Each structure stands twice: as structure tokens, then as C-alpha cells.
């Protein structure tokens, strides 16, 4: 699930939790909305954590050591 899916879960959860007045027998839509928002926030934080790790560059390799042999130079 990418960043768009996580934001979609947060938006859908907020709509269910705060913007609807439906009453479904046996289902608490406010709780379902809150669960969707929590899953969206967890997914967003996991995605950002992985994306941040991918963006870090490894340190550049050390310059190679070149040893010159002075025995044959005049």
C-alpha cells in the first residue's frame, strides 16, 4: 500500500467516524472509522520510514591508496 492508499484510508475513516449519521444494526461505524484512520496512520509512518531508508546514500568509498615503487625511478 502506497502513500495514496494510506491517505485514502485516513480520509475514509474520518468520513465514517465524523461525517455520517447512519445507524447500521450490529456495526459501530464510528469505531470502524477510527480503526481505518489508525491503520492509515500506521501505514503512512511505515511507508515514510521505508522511503527514508531508501533515500539515504551510503558514504562514498574511501580513496584508494596508491603506493609508488621508487626503486626503478632515477
Model pLDDT for residues 9-35, shown as the tens digit of each residue: 999 999 999 998 888 899 999 999 999
Query: So what's the pLDDT on residue 42?
Result: 95
Closest to 36 in 3D by CA, of 4, 11, 2: 11
Task: Determine, yes or no, domain membership for 63.
Answer: no
Task: Determine, yes or no, domain membership for 7.
Answer: yes
Do residues 52 and 61 make contact, with C-beta atoms less than 8 angstroms apart? no
Ranges assigned E (strand) in 1-74: none
Range of the domain at 46: 3-55
Cell output for 13: 475513516
Query: So what's the pLDDT on residue 54?
Result: 64
State the pTM of this model: 0.67
Model pLDDT for residues 30-64, shown as the tens digit of each residue: 999 999 999 999 999 998 888 776 666 677 777 77
Into how many domains does the chain fold? 1
Query: So what's the pLDDT on residue 55?
Result: 62
Query: So what's the pLDDT on residue 56?
Result: 63
Neighbour tally for 22: CB within 10 Å? 7
Amino acid at each position: 500500500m502506497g502513500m495514496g492508499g494510506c491517505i485514502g484510508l485516513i480520509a475514509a475513516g474520518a468520513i465514517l467516524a465524523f461525517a455520517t449519521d447512519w445507524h447500521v444494526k450490529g456495526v459501530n461505524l464510528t469505531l470502524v472509522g477510527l480503526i481505518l484512520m489508525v491503520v492509515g496512520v500506521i501505514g503512512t509512518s511505515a511507508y515514510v520510514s521505508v522511503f527514508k531508508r531508501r533515500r539515504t546514500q551510503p558514504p562514498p568509498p574511501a580513496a584508494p591508496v596508491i603506493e609508488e615503487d621508487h626503486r626503478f625511478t632515477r
